[in-house]
């Protein structure tokens, strides 16, 4: 007989053994009236139906829905003493072409600005961004020819160890200026350079390639300041597993925003262009005209105070009168940078006393009161403020032949100022420190320490903590006085976890909505069948009330319910194990390296009463996913149902949840597995474990243990006769209470079991027989069938 998609064999008539046992009466019927039991079971059945019908509402209540922000943005205003984390700085320096001997440690913003905007540390990468106009060194790419009678004042162009970014012709070429007739006549290699630049770019090269080729062809140094664009370039970190987008899950982007802190009033590499063009067009054929006119322009700027200035400390007199040459500034490599000891305001008040004691070679006098700490450069003692400084710090230096004084408004008052005698650089330079103070007897005294580091280097040490191993131009003081005018923004996202959890939750909600609809439709059909039945037998009502509505729907819609159950089960374990990958909260602290990590709580499913309730609830789901279809009839008997759920649900789920969580931790340490999505990894693990539990190797001992446990509570395995059609539809056996157990294999099965069996329609049950054709036929049944609590069903011919 064929019904649905199964083939059901028609069994022969009732066996002789069953006829001999026709007088068997179940012992419990003598003590408990079937009607009373039916009413109690009906009440439980109704409550169970109501409980399962509201499953979508329960799912909605216990699950978090809604869209969450994809990214979080944190903004911090930068001060000169703001600490920036080493991971960000390491990548920022690397992107700017600044070679690093090792990863950079956390450092203050002032030191970052000095490395990017003041000291020439970038190698060629600076050429790819808008070029920072550095100091002028010479006009032409080709080495200049010495002038026979140089004008005075005159700054000799740099011939050897000249930086590419200090050559006017090179900068014009890299900027791609239009080579008009005047420029081409003044700068002989410019047209050729522009053509070569166009060729390299057309072939897929970059300006870095152009700068590298120019440096090699003309023996020029490719280092230069990185510049503002590279300082403000975003730095992105991607950590974690591969998300749905195909990229790493953890995304964090740091970026500095602000106004360029570099002033524009110092002479730069392009300043002499107009003068050189005008002079050389008037003297055609003079090979030395360009460099001579530019050198004269610089000479005037060095000695005459004007809008554009030069630092006198950057030049020295040559043998000829009023002829100056460049002095290479002292610059320490990043590998050699030394940091001094931090301090505080109390230590700052005692710093000048240490300096005085060192210079005077005398003990420290604690009663001395500071009037001025004057950091003197270029011998500019005359502009120190002396007693009018009110205990402050003054810096002096010479610009274009004029001494300039600047009052320190940066280090003064910092609570985390660096206080160390190393900041003065005693014996390492050519500058001086003048200390004006009042002694205890009211006498104003002055002490001068000579051969110190330059004034700006000392101040940078106070603020940034780097020993004065490098010299800085005076415009750094202008930058520091103006303030940073910048902020750093970090935008980060933790991946697609929230989106996936929302998606899983919505799938679960939709699935349980489908589950609710299936229950309602089944109950409607069941009630209609009962209402239309001409004879409502007590056994029939008992079997209906004894059935498990959840098991019925799960078995009849097993494929869809397994999907819904697995999705909700996965969401439960993700939440119970607190499986989450995210950036550490310290990412909001700019001084701390951004770290992306995954956390798993292996015992989270046992953490508290709520977790235990959820564990028990999803233990049934676990049982339904793995074992329900392999144990027909076990859900009909309350005690057996509870024992089975405990042994095959709660206990294995408690242990396996711990093991799955530990394997998720191990995933991060296994090569290649750290890139696998954590939720996908967990889903694959559970799928593999559930499939493994259903294999004969593990299933056989499991059923043996279960059978022994169920015998204790009065539930046994009832064999079905191999010739019965039920053997194909249900299996070789089903579980039954001791009172209904029969030693011989049976041809009859309880109606409550048939209700859970897929592809069978209980409306085809008539007079203890299942008629697959729908034709109602009456037959003879053993007498013992009438004495069972359950309505027993035989597969009719």
Of 329, 305, 273, 319, give the one whose Cα is nearest residue 154: 319
**pLDDT exceeds cutoff 50 at 792:** yes
* pLDDT tens-place string over residues 575-592: 899 988 899 999 999 999
DSSP letter string, 333-395: -GGG--B--B--HHHHHHHHHHHHHHHHTS---TT-EEEEEEEE-TT-GGG--GGGGTTEEEE
Rounded to whole angstroms, the Cα distance separating 613 from 147 reads 94
Q: Which residues of 29-67 are buried (b: 16+ CB within 10 A; e: fewer)?
A: eeeeebeebbeebeeebeebbeebbebbeebeeebeeee
Instruction: Inform me whether the pLDDT recorded for 64 exceeds 70.
Output: no
Residue 333: exposure state from Cβ atoms within 10 A (0-12, 13-18, ≥19)? exposed
Residue 446 pLDDT > 70 = yes
What is the rounded distance in angstroms from the CA atom of residue 577 to the CA atom of residue 660?
9
Q: Is the pLDDT score of 331 beyond 90?
A: yes
Q: In angstroms, how far apart are the furthest CA atoms of the chain?
A: 139
**What percent of the chain is modeled with pLDDT above 70?**
91
Confidence of residue 112 (pLDDT cuts 50, 70, 90): very high
Look at residue 67 in the predicted model and tell me its pLDDT: 57
Nearest to 197 by CA among 211, 212, 210: 210
Helix (H, G, I), strand (E, B) or coil at 132: coil
Predicted confidence (pLDDT) at residue 14 exceeds the cutoff of 60: no
pLDDT at 229: 93
Task: Spell out the residues 6+ positions from residue 659 whose beta carbon is closer than 8 angstroms to its own.
Answer: none
Q: H or E stretch including 651?
A: helix 651-667
Buried b (16+ CB within 10 A) or exposed e, 545-559: bbbbbbbbbbbbbbe
pLDDT band of residue 21 (cuts 50, 70, 90) is very low
Rounded average pLDDT over 309-317? 90
Q: What is the mean pLDDT of the segment spanning 333-352?
A: 88
Looking at the predicted structure, is the pLDDT value of residue 724 above 70?
A: yes
- Give residue-wise pLDDT tens across range 265-302: 788 898 888 888 888 887 776 767 888 888 888 888 88
| Residue recorded with tokens 């970190």 | 237
SS3 at position 46: helix
* Mean pLDDT value of segment 186-201: 92
For residue 173, the model assigns a pLDDT of: 93
Asked whether residue 645 carries a pLDDT value surpassing 90, the answer given is: yes
Secondary structure (DSSP) of 471-483: ---THHHHHHHH-
| pLDDT tens-digit series, residues 485-538 | 999 999 999 888 888 888 888 888 888 899 999 989 988 888 888 887 755 678
Q: What is the pLDDT of residue 13?
A: 41
Check residue 111 and give its pLDDT.
Answer: 96
Q: Residue 455: name the closest of 543, 380, 400, 538 by CA.
A: 380
Q: How many residues does the chain have?
A: 797
The helix or strand, by DSSP H or E, that contains position 437, with its residue range, turns out to be strand 431-438
Q: Is the dihedral of CA 469, 474, 477, 479 positive or negative?
A: negative
Residue 398 has pLDDT above 90, yes or no: yes
What is the pLDDT averaged over residues 703-721? 92
pLDDT for res 674:
82
Nearest to 597 by CA among 607, 587, 605: 587
Nearest to 113 by CA among 239, 263, 7, 13: 263
Q: Mean pLDDT of all residues in the chain?
A: 86
Across 481-490, b (16+ Cβ under 10 Å) vs e yields: eebbebebeb
Output the pLDDT for position 147: 63
Q: What is the rounded CA–CA span in Å between residue 8 and residue 2?
A: 6
| Average pLDDT score over residue span 621-644 | 91
CA distance 532 to 334: 93
Query: Can you tell me which residue has the tokens 């440690």?
Result: 105
Give the pair of three-digit tokens for residue 40.
């109690």
- pLDDT of the residue at 794: 86
Q: What is the mean pLDDT of residues 187-213?
A: 93
Convert 534-569 into a string of H (helix), E (strand) and C (coil). Answer: CCCCHHHHHHHHHCCHHHHHHHHCHHHHHHHHHHHH
**Measured between alpha carbons, how far is 450 from 444 in angstroms, rounded to an integer?**
20
pLDDT over threshold 60, residue 5: no
Q: What is the mean pLDDT of residues 52-81?
A: 79
Are 602 and 663 in contact, with CB atoms under 8 Å apart?
no
Q: Which residue has the higher pLDDT, 126 or 549?
A: 126
Q: What pLDDT sits at residue 681? A: 92
Tell me the C-alpha to C-alpha distance, in Å, between residue 317 and each of 166, 379, 401, 452. 21, 16, 13, 21
- Using alpha carbons, list the distances in angstroms from residue 670 to 238, 665, 681: 19, 9, 12
């Amino acid at each position: 007989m064929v019904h649905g998609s199964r083939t059901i064999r028609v069994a022969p008539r009732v066996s002789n053994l069953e006829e001999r046992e026709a007088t068997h009466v179940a012992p419990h019927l003598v003590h408990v009236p079937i009607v009373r039991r039916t009413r109690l079971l009906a009440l439980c059945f109704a409550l169970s139906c109501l409980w399962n019908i509201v499953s979508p509402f329960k799912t909605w209540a216990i699950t978090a829905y809604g869209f969450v922000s994809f990214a979080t943005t944190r903004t911090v205003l930068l001060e000169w003493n703001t600490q920036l984390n080493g991971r960000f700085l390491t990548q920022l320096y690397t992107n700017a072409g600044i070679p690093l001997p090792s990863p950079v440690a956390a450092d203050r913003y002032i030191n970052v600005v000095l490395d990017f905007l003041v000291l020439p540390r970038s190698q060629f990468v600076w050429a790819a961004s808008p070029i920072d106009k550095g100091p002028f060194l010479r006009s032409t790419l080709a080495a200049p020819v010495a002038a026979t009678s140089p004008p005075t004042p005159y700054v000799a162009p740099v011939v050897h160890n000249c930086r590419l970014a200090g050559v006017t012709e090179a900068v014009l070429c890299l900027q791609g200026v239009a080579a008009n007739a005047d420029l081409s006549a003044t700068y002989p290699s410019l047209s050729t350079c522009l053509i070569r630049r166009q060729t390299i770019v057309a072939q897929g090269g970059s300006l870095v390639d152009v700068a590298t080729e120019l440096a090699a062809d003309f023996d020029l140094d490719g280092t230069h300041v990185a510049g503002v664009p590279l300082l403000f370039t975003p730095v992105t970190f991607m950590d974690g597993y591969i998300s749905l987008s195909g990229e790493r899950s953890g995304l964090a982007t740091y970026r500095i925003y602000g106004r360029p802190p570099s002033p524009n009033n110092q002479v730069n590499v392009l300043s002499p262009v107009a003068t050189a063009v005008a002079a050389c067009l008037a003297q055609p054929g003079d090979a030395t005209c360009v460099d001579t006119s530019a050198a004269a322009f610089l000479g005037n700027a060095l000695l005459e105070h004007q809008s554009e200035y030069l630092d006198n400390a950057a030049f020295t007199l040559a043998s000829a009168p009023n002829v100056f040459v460049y002095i290479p500034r002292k610059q320490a490599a990043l590998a050699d940078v030394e940091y001094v000891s931090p301090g505080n305001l109390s230590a700052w008040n005692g710093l000048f006393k240490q300096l005085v004691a060192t210079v005077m070679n005398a003990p420290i006098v604690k009663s001395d009161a500071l009037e001025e700490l004057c950091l003197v450069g270029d011998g500019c003692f005359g502009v120190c403020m002396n007693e009018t400084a009110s205990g402050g710090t003054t810096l002096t230096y010479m610009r274009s032949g004029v001494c300039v004084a600047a009052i320190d408004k940066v280090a003064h008052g910092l609570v985390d100022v660096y206080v160390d005698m190393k900041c003065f650089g005693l014996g390492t330079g050519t500058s001086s420190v003048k200390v004006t103070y009042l002694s205890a007897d009211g006498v104003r005294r002055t002490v001068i320490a000579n051969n110190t580091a330059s004034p700006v280097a000392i101040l940078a040490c106070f603020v940034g903590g780097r020993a004065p191993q490098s010299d800085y131009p005076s415009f750094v003081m202008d930058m520091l006085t103006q303030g940073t005018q910048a902020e750093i923004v970090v935008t980060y996202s933790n991946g697609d976890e929230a989106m996936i959890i929302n998606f899983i939750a919505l799938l679960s909600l939709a699935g349980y909505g489908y589950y609710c609809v299936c229950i309602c439709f089944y109950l409607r059909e069941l009630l209609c069948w009962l209402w239309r039945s001409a004879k409502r037998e007590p056994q029939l009502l008992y079997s209906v009330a004894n059935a498990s509505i959840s098991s019925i729907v799960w078995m009849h819609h097993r494929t869809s319910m397994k999907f819904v159950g697995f999705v909700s089960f996965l969401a439960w374990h993700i939440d119970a194990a607190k499986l989450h990958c995210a950036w550490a909260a310290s990412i909001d602290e700019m001084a701390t390296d951004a770290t992306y990590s995954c956390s798993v709580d292996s015992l989270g499913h046992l953490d508290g009463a709520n977790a235990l309730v959820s564990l028990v609830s999803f233990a049934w789901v676990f049982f339904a996913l793995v074992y329900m279809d392999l144990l027909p009839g076990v859900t009909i008997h309350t005690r057996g149902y509870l024992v089975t759920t405990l042994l095959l649900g709660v206990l294995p789920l408690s242990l396996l949840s711990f093991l799955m969580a530990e394997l998720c931790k191990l995933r991060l340490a296994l090569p290649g597995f750290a890139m696998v999505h954590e939720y996908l990894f967990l889903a694959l693990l559970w799928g593999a474990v559930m499939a493994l539990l259903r294999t004969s190797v593990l299933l056989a001992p499991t059923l043996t243990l279960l059978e022994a446990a169920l015998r204790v509570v009065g539930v046994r395995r009832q064999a079905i006769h191999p010739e019965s059609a039920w053997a194909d539809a249900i299996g070789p056996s089903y579980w039954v209470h001791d009172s209904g157990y029969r030693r011989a294999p049976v041809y009859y099965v309880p109606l409550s079991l048939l209700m859970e069996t897929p592809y069978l329609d209980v409306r085809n049950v008539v007079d203890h027989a299942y008629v697959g054709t729908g034709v109602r036929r009456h037959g003879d049944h053993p007498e013992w069938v009438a004495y069972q609590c359950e309505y027993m069903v035989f597969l009719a011919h």
